[in-house]
Chains A and B, each alone.
Chain A
């Protein structure tokens, strides 16, 4: 999995765009979305009018012209800094999305036009941008797939490295759960017909691009609540500053408009106000960098709240597929016979399990005569179905007519079946035969050790049991431990029997499992958890996962999955990596933490700013209040300037943090709160004292 992350936060060309955007965003109609910065803009306009008035009238009761010009400029720069934060986040997100989109733009598409009722197929070549929903196009070896869609005919190997970074080609075919193709990927072999499933401009990627654009971005519920709180803080400080004027008048202490507006701008939470939308956009961007396309910001945020995580065993917890490790013949059956039957039943079986049985049989440990005589000519393949829960083969007896058929059964067809213990038992017992107790015992033993027993029967007589073993992915235990520390309960979903499931669940360290799972079991489990107030996430790819994906609070569909699954989920994982949910959960948490910590930092800053500005307002007429000037700042003017400058430059200083996000550590909520409170609360308390004092020392040199 190659992450497409850029090493630098501030790439040159992005910075250029962002600076231009910072000015465009000064438009009050745009800025009003951010109440905190909007009030700063109003303050700046007032200051500008005051400055013009002073310049024209020469009246210096409001302070010198130079001082007022400087304050106006700093306020203006404060807004620019905030706009820049949003613009750079937007630019980064767009660049990321564009790099994905570029791959698919303007590729020629071979559209198949159905002409009249003759169903005469004619291929017409048009640019991919003109593809409409419902069109069918053709892709052959070497073609770039022009648009997202679903294969309706054929099978192809496809190189998806442009999207996923994964170089190994994948197979996509019509029908089943792997029928989706993504625009921009390349067909390596074969020929497919693809149905276009999205209108141009409405693909998931287009939706994602909208999420990283400030203007069209929907605010998430938590962001709305925080904006309300920040607006509340802003209002309190409006009251504090507006009422200060008559108070000062009573105390015969004229306060200049510059000082009053400076106090106001310093007190309102400009730091978080300026960075809030950048944080949101950066969160989406981080999701995109993890190759996850979220359909809404809300989905990413909800991921941080997840209580329960449903994971498929196969491919997520264990390495893809089970492998055959042992043959255990039933009592009275010789081993060669049993191995041969097992191998025969699997020869035409394309499943990895089947292949591994043949592989084990051919490994040479069971004598060369076992495999030499294998032939399935004229045989009928019995496919696995959910009802029979077994598969196998029907062989014409004469082809294998060397007396191998069980004596006493004058049948010309040899029926070999392999399947789960209970399904074979039913089959065997229905035929009036006995299911050997020893085989049953062995099967239980295998299951208890986390393996899967596969019973092989020939003409309803048990031949023995094959042991299949799961191999747990390395490092998965650590990931589950991390999830547990985050407070997320992990649930393994598997078709295995409860014993096997339990063994693997324990070995992998998941908290719960659903064994012998049918598609509706997932749905029921999710519903059950949700009734208890839990938020559930799941990952899925098949069409039969779609209802559960829709029901889950966070449903991540694999990009390789069916269109139905992708429509039902609220995220699409381009890497098809089932453990991606863990990263998504962290991105969601990081998003909230970054907002929370910067809010705390911003508000904690107020203490120092009060102590810088309030004495500065009054000491000229009430010298006794010099005692409140605990920072011993030089003069009222330099105190106010230092506070306003500090207030402005803290925004760009925190942009990297806002873009990268505050690190999430799964150390338990209380410990995390203590840690963040210490760093951002105490830090936010102390930093401005130091910053303002230093600025004052510098400014003191000039005035």
Chain B
């Protein structure tokens, strides 16, 4: 148990140690002049970037306002969707399909395309049989790169609005987007993929291998160019695995070392981006306060989960069975309870959604913490979008604390007024709205028409009725709204009702929380910059951090208190 604990501490410490220089590097990447070299270590990529701009017909020096940037973002996303949908629809007849896997049905292709387009990676198929090597790499892996970069580019647009000298123009989305891939995601993925490949993760186009087991059965083992995709799956807070069971699969996550690398990859960029903010707008203290608030929140979610997992299942303890390894149901013995609990919290904190253990099998407290993590969705958060979510809470906190010191609220020299509050309020409401309303609809359907004549009768949706069943539904929608993509499983979700409702939640949960903060940023940037005076409320203090934390706790966490009480909390108190 001690070693387990040390492993978790080492993972977090290593992440922060790596994130500090990475943050500095990222800030430098985005600060660089688009047409010339940025002065970073990767300047040799610049010609490639220029080629991309020329091919795309993009003028990298053109400064765009927030509306133009959002139009660019949404248009290019739409193009990717069409591309992904048709690739999946015809994958069976396209090359690089050594295992002869079939094309996806239109509704599954639709679902898969949407799910990966929004960086959610909810999978209603199993990678080994549901995709070909071509679609795995050219659709899934492609989207894992570009959607992560989309979030990061949107975040840089918001960063720009926080700089003192900016007015109106927020920079060029395409430039930030391209650089995010060429200078951040691609090099990091290369490193992670190499480590994985050397530890046994497949990286071949040869199709299935076979082994003969001790029982002399011949078993086909799926392979493929997996290492590269798993790297970006972790780094880009994507989470959609090569294999069906994700990082619990021995080839996707072979040993404790790869587990550490993959888990560090989950939160490395989200933390580094907070530090990057400090360097980019030259407000290190503000970045530290934001990091502090996120970390306190993260730890408050992690520790209950950790203790719940290592102390084991009370139901088993009541049988008089000792659980020296903690609660091991649904976990990999090579990884252990502590590392699984840590992964569970990192993956839900960051909208990653990859798993190395089955969340359905974790103790109720872990379930509650993981859901709460996704309900808040701003403690580190997904690459780029995590900060955007946090930004909305920040604006609300700025407003309330600004009033409390007797000044029209202002954030980094820009006044926060009615229009910004309107957008911030709407975005803050959106997340509870999506989760609670959709869960309410599914609960209502389940209770009132259990025998509806559907492919899967609502009465048969749940493996568990009772509180755990409610948690399964709640988790599914929470995961969708947070664009997380992990599943509690135990839920019959591959049917029209769940595909449709989750798809809707996915789209709304992705684009509105990007559009909102960028719009706020655009509006703020247009305002006159007011230099700070001694009457201005400094936002880089612990006190302000406390207000932000309180706002997050009361808006995001407490709105879900009744729902959580009926799900994991009821289960937890019943188990004791």
Q: Which residues of A contact B (CB under 8 A)?
A: 221-222, 224-226, 228-229, 231-233, 235-237, 239-240, 242-251, 253, 263, 301-302, 304-305, 307, 484-489, 532-534, 588-593, 595-597, 599-600, 603-604, 606-607, 610, 614-615, 617-618, 622, 624-628, 664, 668-670, 672-674, 676-677, 680-681
Which residue from B409, B533, B550 sits with its C-beta under 8 Å from A489? B533
The 6 A-B pairs with the shortest beta carbon distances in the complex, nearest first, are A487-B535, A596-B403, A232-B425, A589-B406, A596-B404, A624-B573
CA distance A677 to B400 in the complex (A): 10
B437 close to A (CB within 8 Å)? yes
CA distance A240 to B529 in the complex (A): 38
B437 nearest CB neighbor, chain A only = A243
CA distance A680 to B403 in the complex (A): 13
19 chain-A/chain-B pairs, Cβ below 8 angstroms: A221-B408, A222-B417, A231-B425, A232-B424, A236-B555, A237-B559, A250-B443, A250-B566, A486-B535, A533-B528, A593-B404, A593-B405, A593-B406, A597-B403, A606-B558, A627-B573, A669-B535, A673-B405, A677-B404
Please give, as numbers and ranges, the residues of chain A lying within 8 Å of B96 by CB-CB distance.
none
**Contact of A228 with B444 in the complex, beta carbons under 8 Å:** no
Q: Mark B549-562, 1 if CB is under 8 A from A, else 0.
A: 01000110011011
**Contact of B443 with A625 in the complex, beta carbons under 8 Å:** no
A248 nearest CB neighbor, chain B only = B566
Please give, as numbers and ranges, the residues of chain A lying within 8 Å of B467 by CB-CB distance.
251
Please give, as numbers and ranges, the residues of chain A lying within 8 Å of B403 by CB-CB distance.
222, 226, 592-593, 595-597, 599
CA distance A625 to B567 in the complex (A): 11
Known contacts A232-B424, A672-B404; can you find 19 more A-B pairs with CB under 8 A? A226-B403, A226-B421, A229-B400, A232-B425, A232-B429, A239-B437, A240-B432, A244-B562, A250-B470, A251-B470, A488-B535, A596-B403, A596-B406, A597-B403, A610-B558, A610-B562, A624-B573, A672-B406, A677-B547
B422 nearest CB neighbor, chain A only = A228
Please give, as numbers and ranges, the residues of chain A lying within 8 Å of B325 by CB-CB distance.
none
CA distance A680 to B535 in the complex (A): 20
Residues of B contacting A: mostly: helix
A250, chain B: closest CB distance, angstroms:
4
A533 in contact with B531 given A225-B421, A247-B440, A250-B470 (CB within 8 Å) = yes
**Contact of B559 with A589 in the complex, beta carbons under 8 Å:** no
A473, chain B: closest CB distance, angstroms:
24
**Contact of A225 with B562 in the complex, beta carbons under 8 Å:** no
B246 close to A (CB within 8 Å)? no
A299, chain B: closest CB distance, angstroms:
13
B90 close to A (CB within 8 Å)? no
Q: Which residues of B contact A (CB under 8 A)?
A: 396, 399-409, 413, 416-418, 420-422, 424-426, 428-429, 432-433, 436-437, 439-441, 443-444, 446-448, 467, 470, 528-531, 533-538, 541, 543-544, 546-547, 550, 554-555, 558-559, 561-563, 565-566, 569-570, 573-574, 576
**Contact of A247 with B558 in the complex, beta carbons under 8 Å:** no
Which residue from A240, A250, A592, A677 sits with its C-beta under 8 Å from B559? A240
Please give, as numbers and ranges, the residues of chain A lying within 8 Å of B543 by CB-CB distance.
670, 673-674, 677
Please give, as numbers and ranges, the residues of chain A lying within 8 Å of B422 by CB-CB distance.
228
**Contact of A236 with B559 in the complex, beta carbons under 8 Å:** yes
Please give, as numbers and ranges, the residues of chain B lying within 8 Å of A484 by CB-CB distance.
534
CA distance A670 to B563 in the complex (A): 36
A243 in contact with B404 given A229-B399, A236-B559 (CB within 8 Å) = no
B445 nearest CB neighbor, chain A only = A246
Which residue from A222, A235, A237, A604 sits with its C-beta under 8 Å from B408? A222
**Contact of A247 with B535 in the complex, beta carbons under 8 Å:** no
A670 in contact with B538 given A232-B428, A618-B565, A625-B565 (CB within 8 Å) = yes
A479, chain B: closest CB distance, angstroms:
16
Please give, as numbers and ranges, the residues of chain B lying within 8 Å of A592 by CB-CB distance.
402-403, 406-408
CA distance A532 to B558 in the complex (A): 42
Please give, as numbers and ranges, the residues of chain A lying within 8 Å of B531 by CB-CB distance.
532-534
Please give, as numbers and ranges, the residues of chain A lying within 8 Å of B574 by CB-CB distance.
622, 624
**Contact of B558 with A607 in the complex, beta carbons under 8 Å:** yes
CA distance A240 to B436 in the complex (A): 7
CA distance A305 to B406 in the complex (A): 8
CA distance A433 to B214 in the complex (A): 124
B437, chain A: closest CB distance, angstroms:
6
CA distance A12 to B403 in the complex (A): 33
**Contact of A224 with B418 in the complex, beta carbons under 8 Å:** yes
Please give, as numbers and ranges, the residues of chain A lying within 8 Å of B541 by CB-CB distance.
670
**Contact of B537 with A673 in the complex, beta carbons under 8 Å:** yes
**Contact of B436 with A243 in the complex, beta carbons under 8 Å:** yes
CA distance A302 to B576 in the complex (A): 57
CA distance A233 to B426 in the complex (A): 10
A122, chain B: closest CB distance, angstroms:
55
CA distance A664 to B403 in the complex (A): 12
CA distance A246 to B436 in the complex (A): 10
CA distance A224 to B444 in the complex (A): 37
Which residue from B399, B405, B425, B561 sits with its C-beta under 8 Å from A676? B405
Please give, as numbers and ranges, the residues of chain A lying within 8 Å of B424 by CB-CB distance.
229, 232
B547 nearest CB neighbor, chain A only = A677
B561 nearest CB neighbor, chain A only = A610
CA distance A243 to B442 in the complex (A): 11
B512, chain A: closest CB distance, angstroms:
14
Which residue from A247, A597, A603, A674 sits with its C-beta under 8 Å from B566? A247
CA distance A250 to B544 in the complex (A): 40
Please give, as numbers and ranges, the residues of chain B lying within 8 Å of A676 by CB-CB distance.
404-405
**Contact of B447 with A614 in the complex, beta carbons under 8 Å:** no
**Contact of A669 with B447 in the complex, beta carbons under 8 Å:** no
A249 nearest CB neighbor, chain B only = B447
**Contact of B443 with A249 in the complex, beta carbons under 8 Å:** yes
A239 in contact with B547 given A232-B426, A249-B447 (CB within 8 Å) = no
CA distance A617 to B566 in the complex (A): 10
B418, chain A: closest CB distance, angstroms:
4
CA distance A236 to B554 in the complex (A): 11
A642, chain B: closest CB distance, angstroms:
18
CA distance A236 to B433 in the complex (A): 7
**Contact of A228 with B421 in the complex, beta carbons under 8 Å:** yes
Which residue from B400, B440, B558 sits with its C-beta under 8 Å from A599? B400
Which residue from A244, A600, A672 sits with its C-beta under 8 Å from B400? A600
Which residue from B432, B439, B533, B534 sits with its C-beta under 8 Å from A236? B432
CA distance A484 to B533 in the complex (A): 10
**Contact of A596 with B436 in the complex, beta carbons under 8 Å:** no
CA distance A600 to B558 in the complex (A): 15
A488 nearest CB neighbor, chain B only = B535
**Contact of B530 with A597 in the complex, beta carbons under 8 Å:** no
Please give, as numbers and ranges, the residues of chain A lying within 8 Å of B565 by CB-CB distance.
614-615, 618, 625, 628
CA distance A409 to B429 in the complex (A): 91
A677 in contact with B533 given A228-B418, A236-B428, A239-B432 (CB within 8 Å) = no
Please give, as numbers and ranges, the residues of chain A lying within 8 Å of B432 by CB-CB distance.
236, 239-240
Please give, as numbers and ranges, the residues of chain B lying within 8 Å of A232 by CB-CB distance.
421, 424-426, 428-429
